[in-house]
Structure 1
Amino acid sequence: MLASHWMAGAATLLALNSAKGFESVRSIRLGAIVDEQDPVGPAAIEDMKRVHSAAPAALVFEGGRRGWLSGDAAKGKFTSVDGRSLDATAFSTFDTASLHAVTGAPDIRFDLVNGESSSRRRGGEAATEIVVEIEGEADGRMKNSRSTLEFKQGTASLTGLSIVLSLASALGLNDRPPARPGLYLPELLSDSQWFLDELRSAGATISEDSK
């Protein structure tokens, strides 16, 4: 199993579940906040710095073509769970390639912010949050959806939980047959709705707004 996606697949499965309501997907924008007070360990921080230094350009899809953004081109914006417009930076994750492979969306980008989470700003715990905005067509008209996920136990806990869910799927512990030997990405192992329901049971707050 290869789960080097954001939070080991949580972002991709949140996006894929939203994409079910579309006949065709034109763009997917993902944004994530890692709170400055997130209780992530020093090894995780060091690993993130290593990844940034080793691959400073961020993979995106624009007009159906792969592109690599760095410097000013990587600067972007995304709207947090509580409605703030935040300065963000494009970030390379496996989610971008996975979502392009599954949906065929010509425009996909993942942006990352290290700052105050919506939960902490409301006076609660430091939380990790993910926002997915999709534009596409459904029932012959343009449609937009916005899905959000907040998890107040932090990035390490959400990553660990997502890994456990993928392992459970691989072993056939989610009412599906065990996976045959091979290399699997998270979206190939788990049904997105089942995965999100399990995250909710573990304390995640997930919402979707479509128009």
Structure 2
Amino acid sequence: MDDRVAALRFAQSRCVPHISISPGIFELGPEVAAYMHNPSTAPVVLGTEWLVGATTVPTLEFAKRFRRVHNVVIGALLDERDDFGPAAEVDLERQTKAMPVALARRDGVFYWRRDADAMARFRAVDGTEMEASALSPNDVVGLATVLDTPNVQFNLAIGESSSRRCGEPISTEIIIELEGEDHNGQALCTRHAIVHPQGQMPLTGLGVALVLERLTGLDGNPATPPGLYFPYQLLETSTYFDRLKQAGGSVMTLEG
């Protein structure tokens, strides 16, 4: 967390791209203000999506089966034995405990989940029901906006991952549940999972690397022009899925 926004100001002074992956929704003001006062200097990426695009990019792809998405429910599972660096530990502490409420959308209204409303449960990949609590990474506002979805919530569980329950090493899981109407107007519910067998750090690193490639033009396309972006606005879906597979991650279709 760069509480002084010094890295962003330095990047703007050199006209080079900047991405942050720490500030929560309730902390976006300083970065947005810095961008607004120098909008033409460099691209600025508000990168605090869950694992930097690992949730939003797949969700937007799955949503293509729908004419209208009524509900988006994301469940993220971190294994309690997953290794975190000191900065990541502080980030998670700040976003889960220092901020007692989490942003969500219900019936088209953005509101803050608190107390009992901030408690949730979801089923992991192996079907085990996990106790979870509300979290509000940028995925909440991004998905609600781009899909025009009236109901969006994000829940985080920290505990034993599905792989460890069956005697394998830890993994990280993202459960994506969508409900709405297909293109024929029929009710449709889908449930997918994004899984990495080495925990959350490889997915975070993958998202950062892909964003930096896109910002600087290292992917073979023109460098990203100045602007204010979320990661999913920069990452091409097929490229993300290809690189996810190369990095050892997988996409699973689950029973509803």
Shared fold by TM > 0.5?
yes
Q: Percent identity?
A: 37
Q: Does 1:145 align with 2:203?
A: no
Could you tell me how far 1:209 is from its partner in structure 2? 4.7
On the 8 A contact 1:151/1:158 being kept in 2, the answer is yes
Could you tell me how far 1:177 is from its partner in structure 2? 3.4
- Alignment equivalent of 2:248, drawn from 182, 195, 203: 203
Q: Which AA in structure 2 matches 1:81?
A: V
Please name the residue that 1:12 is paired with. 56
User: How far apart, in 1, do the equivalents of 2:127 and 2:221 lie?
Assistant: 38
Q: What SS class does the counterpart of residue 9 from structure 1 fall into?
A: coil
- Alignment equivalent of 2:118, drawn from 50, 74, 97: 74
Please name the residue that 2:137 is paired with. 93
Pairing 1:16-165 to 2, within 5 Å after superposition: 16-138=60-182, 139-165=184-210
On the 8 A contact 2:77/2:174 being kept in 1, the answer is yes
- Structure 1 unaligned segments of length 5 or more: list them: none
Could you tell me how far 1:165 is from its partner in structure 2? 1.0
On the 8 A contact 1:11/1:95 being kept in 2, the answer is yes
Cα gap change, 1:51 to 1:180, in 2 (>3 Å): same
On the 8 A contact 2:104/2:111 being kept in 1, the answer is yes
- Alignment equivalent of 1:167, drawn from 212, 221, 224: 212
Could you tell me how far 1:173 is from its partner in structure 2? 3.8
For normalisation by structure 1, the TM-score amounts to: 0.94
User: How far apart, in 1, do the equivalents of 2:95 and 2:129 lie?
Assistant: 26
Cα gap change, 1:52 to 1:201, in 2 (>3 Å): same
CA RMSD across the alignment: 1.6
Q: Which AA in structure 2 matches 1:111?
A: N
For normalisation by structure 2, the TM-score amounts to: 0.78
Q: Which AA in structure 2 matches 1:146?
A: R
Q: Which AA in structure 2 matches 1:47?
A: D
On the 8 A contact 1:144/1:210 being kept in 2, the answer is no
User: How far apart, in 1, do the equivalents of 2:127 and 2:254 lie?
Assistant: 13
User: How far apart, in 1, do the equivalents of 2:236 and 2:175 lie?
Assistant: 19
Could you tell me how far 1:205 is from its partner in structure 2? 1.5
User: How far apart, in 2, do the equivalents of 1:92 and 1:8 lie?
Assistant: 14
Could you tell me how far 1:95 is from its partner in structure 2? 0.4
Q: Tell me which of the two structures has the higher relative contact order, counting C-alpha pairs closer than 8 angstroms and 6 or more residues apart.
A: 1
- Structure 2 unaligned segments of length 5 or more: list them: 1-44
User: How far apart, in 2, do the equivalents of 1:180 and 1:189 lie?
Assistant: 11
Aligned residues: 211
User: How far apart, in 2, do the equivalents of 1:70 and 1:200 lie?
Assistant: 37
Q: What SS class does the counterpart of residue 51 from structure 2 fall into?
A: helix
Q: Deviations over 1:147-189 (max 9, x none)?
A: 1011122212211111101112223344543311122111110
**Greater C-alpha Rg:** 2
